């Protein structure tokens, strides 16, 4: 699909750092200055809906999403994790796994809500430092899946 940003992003990876890539999925640490630790789990093939996957593919994808969630929880120690698969703008299966904190700029709304507050600079810097530990933690969590 030539107009799909996630298909194009696989080639350019402007959206963030590729943490892990398998035959069917990849995990990206998203470049989001307000939400350090935000990851995206992307199905590599252009498929629009979860129900288009086989049961085995669904299980594989969700096991990967949950491994990413566990690694983020362990490393980032957030107040909450948001897991979302909206796909309204990009008809290509992908899951957002987002560490959330009571003082993040969008809390208690979604990561796509209007800002409700400013995060203390020290908190943001601490979270950015923690997020640098995520690639190794996520790769370790994924290796334990197999």
Query: What CATH architecture is 5-143?
Result: 2-Layer Sandwich (3.30)
Q: What percent of the chain has pLDDT over 70?
A: 90
Question: How confident is the model over 35-54, as pLDDT tens digits?
Answer: 999 999 999 998 999 999 99
- Which residues, including other chains, have CB under 8 Å from residue 136's CB and lie 6 or more apart? none
The model's pTM: 0.91
61 near 41, Cβ under 8 Å?
Answer: yes
Question: What value does the mean pLDDT take over residues 88-110?
Answer: 91
The mean pLDDT value of the chain amounts to 91
State residue 139's pLDDT score. 97
State residue 145's pLDDT score. 85
Question: How confident is the model over 11-31, as pLDDT tens digits?
Answer: 455 578 999 999 999 999 999
Exposure pattern of 56-77 as b/e (b: 16+ CB <10 Å)?
ebeebbeebbbbbbbbbbebbe
Q: To which H or E segment does residue 62 belong?
A: helix 55-76
- List the domain boundaries for the chain: 5-143
């Amino acid at each position: 699909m030539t107009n799909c940003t996630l298909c194009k992003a696989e080639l350019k990876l402007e959206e963030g750092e590729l943490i892990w890539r398998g035959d069917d999925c990849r995990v990206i640490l998203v470049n989001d200055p307000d939400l350090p630790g935000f990851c995206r789990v992307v199905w590599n093939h252009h498929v629009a809906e979860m129900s288009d996957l086989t049961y085995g593919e669904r299980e594989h994808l969700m096991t990967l999403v949950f491994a990413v969630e566990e690694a983020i929880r362990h490393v980032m120690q957030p107040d909450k994790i948001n897991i979302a698969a909206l796909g309204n703008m990009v008809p290509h299966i992908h899951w957002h796994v987002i560490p959330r904190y009571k003082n993040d700029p969008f809390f208690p709304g979604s990561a796509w809500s209007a800002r409700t507050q400013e995060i203390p600079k020290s908190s943001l810097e601490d979270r950015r430092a923690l997020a640098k530990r995520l690639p190794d933690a996520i790769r370790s969590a994924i290796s334990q899946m197999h």
